[in-house]
A and B are shown apart, each in its own frame.
Chain A
């Protein structure tokens, strides 16, 4: 447990109140996005205007915390200027880093704002040190967020082989697919995480009470059907129940959250530099709850070292805000695969 660097806690904020809550609850960094398709949580009613971004950055910097800007979708020829303008704005406002996925944008950022710190987004799908080192050598990327696909020993191996700081997901909604390599939403709705910053977007969702139960549809496709004693979940298309062969089940993934709290000492030992909490689309109350628990756990790890133990009340608090009120270690735990 003698990591050379303290682990940074990186928390989500989909609004100014969420940002302030995250800072007050102990986040080291808050990651945010503007109100447009330049980031992977382009949801109605979410994200920052120029004015709220300035205020958020001031609030965080006054308290010596960092603000990271997610600019992690892939622009196309027709909308390219919106992305580069957003980088310019972010640099002018003094964000502490931009989180990018697109190599063309990285080159733009590197050339236009050489002092701007670059993080590789999880949407960049870099799952090996060779991939991560490409971004480092060509664009000076200083930190990479790993897709949720590697087991713990694999994460450790990557860290040994790259000079780039590694950030991993610690808690929140679980993408079962390799981020940046999923066109399921585009196939079903025409809107993709890669290009539109949206997965299973709300405007394509329909809830319908039928004789067979509550049905949830995405662009007309039946994602799930719930009986009266079940809690109907949002129709994220990889978390529905489908028929394969003679079985109807969660064929891809259950509605569950990633929770790696119990792995915290292992992640620290492996040399992970930052833990990311998912959920810019969630409420300030979620942000507060999750940030408080992880702040307490990271602080406890510093004092307790090898005697670190997960407190039952931490798990209770996290389970209360988990999708489906359950959690998984995801790919960190090999049998999940």
Chain B
């Protein structure tokens, strides 16, 4: 193989050493080529062709912008707003509870092991399963959540909320409550992952920092805001990017729980892709989604500084 000894054979001219370094780097780079070629062929090329198709008429194959002009008619603006609401809302809820969860996992209380095991459950439950379970728990009429609400019937009667007291809450009564159910399911499914990432960051912080702060009279809240938070901020930015991008890509959860009312970007694309006539609309809508995701990633990277990979 290529190694430094090669350079020895022909004397120590600088050019030769540099050339052997380049050869060596190329040799090792070639190991990564299969993986790079893989994503190029199966991701870049298809995505490029989807972008291309979005500018063509489906039948005459002539260049056109009509696929984009058609989007407002199929509700793209509403879908963008709703996707943004769900994504950002779910992201904030997740980040908040993940911080809470991670700090709980750090505490040495009885049953800590069992607690960690219970909160990791959602990570092992697949998305479609959790979507389905939540559609059983939250129903327009009846269901487990309303069974729980019914336990407080006297309370609702006392508050004068007769509707809720007699037939519970219609969780899908309007767009916002439907989106709320989706957000809650998403919170359930994905919070443990963020909590584990943050927990990894928190447990690598040195205990002596906390001891010093405690000696100086800083309470738990102060220690959290002035020691924990600044120290794990970079990890939070990473979690924000990873989860944020997947939030915008949210698909299976809304499809199973709320179907197409209201439509999110991905369910909108999915609705229009099966028919050849409407497929270009699906392409143009997915280009819109791609642009939004790239913009989101760029903004977070710009605000948080590019994440330094590895060491």
Do A and B interact with each other, yes or no? Answer: no
